[in-house]
A and B are shown apart, each in its own frame.
Chain A
């Protein structure tokens, strides 16, 4: 059975090293003979066993004796582990192709995590997450695309989150590709505990919405995000500056921001996100199916295409 492992190991090494090719060939011959219920005639199994036992014998004769006597069992265990490891490798490769990571759609890497315990007790958190998750709705939040589109993508994003910014061009590409077939909705999920004044940015975007310049302001918040989060500019100064650049009525905008007109709206979005199981940004719901983080466009396309076919 050791020949199966040898075939895998020497087979991989043979790709890079000519000296391992005869060994890989020998291992293949041995495996073929064993699969056809014949004895391995190459002697490779004996040589491998001797090399392993010999190496152990130099350090611990007792262990060597144990390995020698139970070598077939060890071989089988290694074969099973090798097969499992190969299967996982293949699965990882498949995930990487589809989702850009080895873990699949549930990968938790690469997004801004909301710390639910921040300032709250464990009991409060449990209360928050108890019960069934609620499927998020577009609510009255800003959207692009027809209301009756077959596929609705709802993003819970944070203007101060670098991963939400990374997802922005992907969203744009999807909108360009699918045009009227999809509807994109942006909902606020500001994570203040890790991003300074994130809620203020969300409220500012809502203030831009009342002047019908939400998407221009939204895009500018993301494209200039580093200026703000990098500490080059005070967040409030930054918010005002890009409002001016967007061509907003600054008196109305300042008043809206000062009175925190959309505080409740932003809070509602956040709570809806919590109810839907959002624990970081960006989180996308494509007809209710979740993608967390700025995954490759392939991952989005796969779900959208499946939903469009339904």
Chain B
């Protein structure tokens, strides 16, 4: 992989920034930016409604994007790919459409992003329970399974510390328990190969903005037979085949879940982003990020407190840390001001975990394919400077 060649695809890097906040939102390659512009310049029409040539072009591009995403994740049918705004919307769709009943249990890990926590908290008023197991702890997970656990809703990779769960095993155990599995793939889809059929996962939600696609576009995968049985969460235009004043007949998936005019530029850009990632290869991306993380971890081990584990190999592209009692926001601001290094700080939307462990938050550096050795060295040097302040 030629990292320097890849870096040239990201115009914002020419500003001399070191972008280490890809777990929040990735940068976009010029091909994605061009693709979005292409929609607005060449065929800025509605899809699935009109019969003029521009509309037909939109349909073709949306279908192509859906198809490429289906292939990227090895879904069985392209109809299993539902476009959403983001991971959050995908999870909310499942939470509100799956038809969970009073007494049913949704099981999650203790490191869930608020997007995979709050939707289930909201279901408590319907008598649906939300229970937790320790992230990545299979024994604990097994111990929490029972006949009432109808859904496992958990993150594949933690956005907080970068650790990944053995989801293949979790899914197998869940299915043996006759439970469905919804994976929050926001942090895994952009950084490692994900194969829906191999995983046999029932639902998988991810966001485009973390994998080089425009913001405001995401995806929910669902097994077709499950999607067919589910009622739509959002209803309205383009979700129905026909309607009277009193009734309606919903379309088949994915249309019945894609209410209203869609974010066509986003969908088309998402398709282009996935094409770009596929060209590099997810294995290559994963290895590159890991190499950089190993380098940073080796240089800073013992100087900073790393969340999750000290083993870089288990944290993929993320390094979440604290420096003594220094405020994490302080670290982030100083990095930005002193060397234009952009990282995230705070509770990373995992307040529940930080509250439980009586921590205020952490600083988080997250890598992607466009980061290089120089970025890693610069980050190490600046962290050492900050460390010397305390």
Residues of A participating in the B interface, judged by any CB pair closer than 8 Å = 43, 46-47, 49-51, 53-55, 57-58, 61, 64-65, 68-69
Contact indicator B330/A57 (Cβ below 8 Å) = no
Question: A61-B388, A64-B389, A65-B388 known; A47 and B333 CB under 8 Å?
Answer: yes
Q: How far is the CA of A64 from the CA of B387 in the complex (A)?
A: 12
B343 nearest CB across to chain A (Å): 12
**One of A43, A50, A68 near B337 (C-beta < 8 A):** A50
Contact indicator B388/A51 (Cβ below 8 Å) = no
Contact indicator A57/B338 (Cβ below 8 Å) = yes
Interface of A is mostly: helix
User: In this assembly, does B334 line the interface, its C-beta being within 8 Å of a C-beta of chain A?
Assistant: yes
Contacts of A47 in B (CB 8 A): 329-330, 333
User: In this assembly, does B313 line the interface, its C-beta being within 8 Å of a C-beta of chain A?
Assistant: no
Contacts of A51 in B (CB 8 A): 333, 337
Contacts of B388 in A (CB 8 A): 61, 65
Contact indicator B339/A58 (Cβ below 8 Å) = yes
Contacts of A61 in B (CB 8 A): 385, 388
B191 nearest CB across to chain A (Å): 29
Q: How far is the CA of A50 from the CA of B339 in the complex (A)?
A: 13
A26 nearest CB across to chain B (Å): 14
Contact indicator B334/A54 (Cβ below 8 Å) = yes
Nearest opposing residue in chain A for B330, CB measure: A50
Contacts of A53 in B (CB 8 A): 334, 337, 389
Q: What are 14 A-B pairs at a CB distance below 8 A?
A: A47-B330, A47-B333, A50-B330, A51-B337, A54-B335, A54-B337, A54-B338, A55-B337, A55-B338, A57-B337, A57-B338, A57-B386, A57-B389, A61-B385
User: In this assembly, does B327 line the interface, its C-beta being within 8 Å of a C-beta of chain A?
Assistant: yes
Q: How far is the CA of A68 from the CA of B338 in the complex (A)?
A: 14
Q: Which of B331, B337, B382 has the most CB of A within 10 A?
A: B337
Q: Which of B317-340 contact A (CB under 8 A)?
A: 327, 329-339
Contacts of A54 in B (CB 8 A): 333-338
Q: How far is the CA of A43 from the CA of B388 in the complex (A)?
A: 22
Contacts of B338 in A (CB 8 A): 54-55, 57-58, 64
Q: How far is the CA of A54 from the CA of B339 in the complex (A)?
A: 8
Question: A55-B338, A57-B338 known; A50 and B389 CB under 8 Å?
Answer: no
Q: How far is the CA of A49 from the CA of B385 in the complex (A)?
A: 16
Contact indicator B389/A43 (Cβ below 8 Å) = no
Q: How far is the CA of A68 from the CA of B331 in the complex (A)?
A: 12
Q: How far is the CA of A289 from the CA of B207 in the complex (A)?
A: 80
Contact indicator A46/B389 (Cβ below 8 Å) = no
B347 nearest CB across to chain A (Å): 13
Contacts of A46 in B (CB 8 A): 327, 329-330
Give 10 closest A-B pairs by Cβ, nearest first. A54-B337, A50-B333, A54-B334, A58-B338, A57-B338, A50-B330, A68-B389, A54-B338, A55-B337, A46-B327
A245 nearest CB across to chain B (Å): 74
Contacts of B339 in A (CB 8 A): 58
Contact indicator B334/A50 (Cβ below 8 Å) = yes
Q: How far is the CA of A47 from the CA of B382 in the complex (A)?
A: 18
Q: How far is the CA of A65 from the CA of B388 in the complex (A)?
A: 7
Contact indicator A58/B337 (Cβ below 8 Å) = yes
Q: How far is the CA of A54 from the CA of B335 in the complex (A)?
A: 7
Residues 278-310 of chain B, each 1 if its beta carbon lies under 8 Å from chain A, else 0: 000000000000000000000000000000000
Q: How far is the CA of A133 from the CA of B107 in the complex (A)?
A: 96
Contact indicator B334/A43 (Cβ below 8 Å) = no
A141 nearest CB across to chain B (Å): 70
B380 nearest CB across to chain A (Å): 14
Q: How far is the CA of A65 from the CA of B385 in the complex (A)?
A: 9
Q: How far is the CA of A54 from the CA of B330 in the complex (A)?
A: 9
Residues 16-50 of chain B, each 1 if its beta carbon lies under 8 Å from chain A, else 0: 00000000000000000000000000000000000
Contact indicator A65/B329 (Cβ below 8 Å) = no
Q: How far is the CA of A43 from the CA of B345 in the complex (A)?
A: 13
B351 nearest CB across to chain A (Å): 15
A67 nearest CB across to chain B (Å): 9
Q: How far is the CA of A69 from the CA of B338 in the complex (A)?
A: 17
Contacts of B333 in A (CB 8 A): 47, 50-51, 54
Q: How far is the CA of A53 from the CA of B339 in the complex (A)?
A: 12
Contact indicator A57/B385 (Cβ below 8 Å) = yes
Question: A65-B388, A65-B389, A68-B389 known; A57 and B334 CB under 8 Å?
Answer: yes
Q: How far is the CA of A55 from the CA of B385 in the complex (A)?
A: 13
Q: Which of A47, A53, A57, A58 has the most CB of B within 10 A?
A: A57
Nearest opposing residue in chain A for B336, CB measure: A54
A236 nearest CB across to chain B (Å): 72
Q: How far is the CA of A57 from the CA of B337 in the complex (A)?
A: 8
Nearest opposing residue in chain B for A61, CB measure: B385
Q: How far is the CA of A127 from the CA of B339 in the complex (A)?
A: 66
Contacts of B336 in A (CB 8 A): 54
Q: How far is the CA of A64 from the CA of B338 in the complex (A)?
A: 10
B18 nearest CB across to chain A (Å): 13
Q: How far is the CA of A64 from the CA of B334 in the complex (A)?
A: 10
Contacts of B334 in A (CB 8 A): 50, 53-54, 57
Q: How far is the CA of A55 from the CA of B333 in the complex (A)?
A: 9
A75 nearest CB across to chain B (Å): 15
Q: How far is the CA of A248 from the CA of B332 in the complex (A)?
A: 87
Q: How far is the CA of A44 from the CA of B382 in the complex (A)?
A: 23
Contacts of B389 in A (CB 8 A): 53, 57, 64-65, 68-69
Contacts of B337 in A (CB 8 A): 50-51, 53-55, 57-58
A55 nearest CB across to chain B (Å): 5
Q: How far is the CA of A58 from the CA of B340 in the complex (A)?
A: 9
Q: How far is the CA of A65 from the CA of B390 in the complex (A)?
A: 8
Nearest opposing residue in chain A for B390, CB measure: A68
A110 nearest CB across to chain B (Å): 46
Q: How far is the CA of A46 from the CA of B334 in the complex (A)?
A: 11
Q: How far is the CA of A43 from the CA of B328 in the complex (A)?
A: 11
